[in-house]
Structure 1
Amino acid sequence: MIINIGTMIGNRYEVVEKVGTGGMADVYRAMDHRLNRYVAVKILKNEYSEDTKFVTKFRQEAQAVACLSHPNVVAVYDVGEEQGMHFIVMEFVEGITLKSYIEKKGKLSVREAVGIGIQIASGLEAAHNSHIIHRDIKPQNILISRDGTAKVTDFGIAKAASSNTITASAMGSVHYISPEQARGGFSDEKSDVYSLGVTMYEMLSGTLPFTGESAVAVALAHIQEEAVPLTAMDATIPKGISDIVAKCMQKKADFRYPTSADLIADLKMFLQDPEGEYGVVKPLYENTDTIFIKPTDVNRIKAASQTTTGDSGMTAAEPEDKKAGEEDSGEVDPKLEKALIGGSIVVAIIIGIVIIYVIGKVFGFWGGASGSTEATPTPEVTSSAASATATPEASDSAQKVTVENVAGMTTEEAKTALSQKGLSNVKVSEQQSDTVSAGKVISTDPEAGTEVEKDAEITLIVSSGTSTVQVPSVASMTVSKAKSTLAAEGFNAVEGSKVYSDTVKAGLVAYSNPKGGAQASKGATITLYISKGPKRTTTTVPDLMGMTKAQAKEALTAKKLVLGSVSTAYSDNVSKNRVCVQSKAEGTEVKTGSTVDITLSLGASKTYSYYSNKVTIDNPFDYESDPSSVFKFVLSQDGKTTTIREVSLSYSDFPYTISDVKGSSASSGEIIVYKDGKRLSSYSVDFRKVADE
């Protein structure tokens, strides 16, 4: 089934635009005509839809998340299959990924990073409580909505933690995977805690803790190396949050936070007391040895390079003892697997070159062995194999290389890959393709696998996109005439929603999507939008969020609306002098001429502390001659008690005054007086809010 703008899925979801693509699926924004809301539709790519393993893995996401209902987890609404196309319908989050947000800002402030970290951990806590492990936590899988809410998405490799077939061979992205995932061992909730720690490290520093020239190098770094402490990266980062992140990223899972709830508790406490001590790792044993990677761990990491892969990218050969119908236990992330295979190929080539060089030096193919040839007699070579090695044909063969398979790469990526093989004489030829995206390599001439001389000319056949034809203009036509006109050009026409139009009579075609004059693939679906006539009395409120005052006024004027009052407020999520609040929500239907008030951001909000008013303690002594006693004053507020002070006082010290005690909020509290360990009396106390400097 071909997906185009206007395609109806399940007679309910109308595709509006493509918003992203992943390893196995494409994501579209669509209109749910039954509930009149935008949704995100994830559609399994055609090349995987016939593979039962990929279909199972794809449907896993819906099964894993369908049972979750949490503000920090992207909701799943529907799952289905139509004409061999498998899809999941999810909540559409209007915003950006955390990865894009980090790249845009460079790095986040400590308060913002901790706030986002708490939200992610809250979403993970909900998943873990339902026995679901995400296994691929990374900034790319965290969406930040316009109101600043962080939502965990893409449970594509998650499985129920109670499943008997779980192993951590279901690896996430290599820069964020835990050591146990890199080794191919068992992964659990603490694996997600590790990946969240890496994510928080990147939020706070703007860099990844481990990098390398290959996926294997990065995976080994997760197992062997210690990340540079955040405090060493940036002296302004508090030690408390640096220690919390370090505890999340402990090599041994038992040294990390046992649950997301424990991590949340420390993060919240850090916000209240940044100078406190956090992230203390309690060793399981005294004198624990240094962790070294075992050879078996390296073999596990590189195991992917020893399997044969089929066209779909899945492992072609399954273990012989795998039972029929047994649930797939998860597989190495395809990108990591390709990187591991590529790394192994490079190693094999280097070893081959070294062997050829050594043999050549021994038999004198490279100009004789070093040293005096007169003092050392040369042995007579009678072996036919050795003789053949010295022939000119063998020397020419050593200059030949195999053309690498670069299909699917961009032109620059393909040129780089070929150049690394010694093939620098590369030409480019474009060709239309209905299966390969524009700008990607279709094939090479000579084809991949062919042995050629290093100076041979290699032609990259690059896709220029699908063959297209011009969409005829059908505006102001009757629906039947518009359909016949489009059919004559090879298009499939469907009726979309009805729309208001100031220029087209009701019942006629207002416009099409794609519009007349645009280029579209033959056989593409063209959506016809039918006019309801002019909309004279009402209009819809536009989205003003993030606009300047001038932009907001212009947008309202275009909708025949009036800008009302303009106020200001602090916002942690919207830049200064940009709209952070609008009085009427986007899409609200109102009368033309209505006013819409806006609030402009003053930037990030200030922080506040709370201090008590003065409290006078009455004299508890009966006589001036009474001996002094030990008095303890305890603050009780918001269900918590804190000792303010403990002093020895006598008759002359009273009445005793207590003031400016730091509280946790603006709510009222109580000061309890203890004399010689016994409760004596209590006094109510109010708190005032003071802006921090």
Structure 2
Amino acid sequence: MIKPGMFISDRYEIVDRVGSGGMADVYKAKCHRLNRYVAIKILKPEYSSDKNFVTKFRGEAQSVAGLSHPNIVNVYDVGDDDGLYYIVMELVEGITLKKFIERKGKLEVKEAVGIAIQIAQGMEAAHDNHIIHRDIKPQNIIISRDGKVKVTDFGIAKAASTNTVTQNAIGSVHYLSPEQARGGYSDERSDIYSLGVTMYEMLSGEVPFAGDNTVSVALLHIQGEATPLRELNPDVPVSLERIVQKCMQKKPERRYISASELISDLKRSIINKDGDYVVINNGVVSDSPTITLSDDEMNHIKSAAKTPVTFIDNNAKDKGTKKVSKEEEEELDSVDSKMEKVLIISMIAAAVLVGCTVLFIVARFFNIFDWGKGNKDTDITPVPSITVTVSPEPTEEPVADLVKVPEVRGLDRDTAISSLTLASRLFNVTLADEKEYSDEYEEGLVMNQNYPAGTEIPSNSTIILTISAGAQPVELIDVYNRSYEQARKQLEDLGFKVERKDEANSDIGAEFVIRTTPERATDPKNPVMLKKGSTVTLVVSTGPDVSALKKVPNLLGKTEEQAKQALLEAGLQKGVTSNIPSSEYAKGAVCYQNTTAGELVTADTKIDISISTGVESTPTPDVSLPDEYGYFGKVTITENPFEEGESGDVYLELEQDGESMLIMQKYLSYDDFPKALKNIKVEGIREGDGIVRMYIDDVPYGSSWSVFLSAEKKK
């Protein structure tokens, strides 16, 4: 089973699955050797087990790897890893031409011509390297985000055409040339026919031939006539209609001989829309498989086979002649030599038979031979019989009846098998080796069948069912200390259901996540994996539990012992005691408490106090303080200056009597609040009130916070 994070050949790391076809699945992967992203196409198991197919597939892919053209998806590598056969290709971010047509209905004329020219240029490069695609169709054309058109699946198409595979694997029959539909020889002109069908669909929004099944569509390619393009789209120029018509001729010799010739006419159609320059050659080859030749024609073929053969293109009078390849001469010579041998043997046999007959008649007339014993005059001489043994014509293998495949996706295994058996008792129903993940089908249900519902197949076919393993597990991300709304959105985007549970908490601010159920992973190497649709409970803080909070008493003016007693009665504790001068409170009285009276705090909170030493004769508290003392206060920044996803440099400044000093500098993000700026200790230059101001990336923030500084012993 291919999963994200898996390595193939210790080089390609699977990132994500991007698509699936009849023969292979396509994944986005990262090549760690060249540090780039690629597309890796991995053959499905039913083709990987066919050694003959794999051999042809690898050979074709390796030959295509030599192609390099802007309009062809480059093939970088081909290989196998523990039974996985794959091709590594250029990763093209874009959309297939099929989806592009479906979105727009039909394309504008200039747009369609531009795309067709780029496809033909890719085909031309391949044909020049003696590579024929054999499966040109909109599904195999990718339009990148920058508008570049690229042809893909070169090697895989040819490999498929040389093996017996299902229709799903080869491609859509709607774009098949007549010679391919008949199972005959295909060449560059077969690709041109398929491009003609693709242009027809781009300009009209529909394929030229459609039917109830693949057989009927194939027959239409062989003997049907498509509706003229201009009847479906009057905006199509006459010249372009003729170009498409020439590409889609039934006989290959009536089509464009090469992609370069097609490109030339397509470019002319942009400038001269109504010009009469598209010439469709008259066909000279009959589609009939049996041709009766006269003696003169036979002698002409024999003599021609022994001399060099030259083919002259009617459309290339000024370009010289084009000779038939040596391979074609040898093939023609071999055919003629075989026919000549058959004729000679037949003539010798006929001559011998005639000679025997004449000798017998002469001998009978003159009674030369004594055919009987004791009765020469009356015995009738028997004519020797000639027995001719005629071999019976080979009988065709019985063809199984065609049966429509029922829809079994969404059914459990047993019900699906019963449904298929009712359609045909001869069906061989098997299950795929491994289950696959599916967001659509629950675990245990059939999620895929190798023949789509409604397809007509032989009644003794093998049907492979793929069982769903349910939704693919997803990693539970860490959302602790994030706002509830942010955490909820992130989890729902991953496909989880979210429930909320409120809980009081003194350390986590209100509306922030305390924890989750299930809990987050503590070891990054062992993440918590949950199926899509699983429920994740967010435990959200409502702030401190008010019912359990204690109210801070007013300690100002009390003695140190009285203050301690008042705190104990309130469920609190006395913290640090310091001595500072005060002109407002008498000597020995509490002149400062670090938590304002009436504020709610948790039980056993320690409250720091300062005891007045009276009015000093020298009003210079800044200088008179011992070195081990300073002026300190605490401030909590409650506002989050960032929007979700934002971050920046945060500066805090203390201002006292017109003087400012930096008290904190940190790089923070939205997720750091409010914990990062809670109970920040502030050190100033004198006792009294101060103002704390905040700056984000050197820009002042609108709010400010008050703080009171008192003398405390430095720690």
TM-score (norm 1): 0.46
Higher relative contact order (CA 8 A, sep 6+): 1
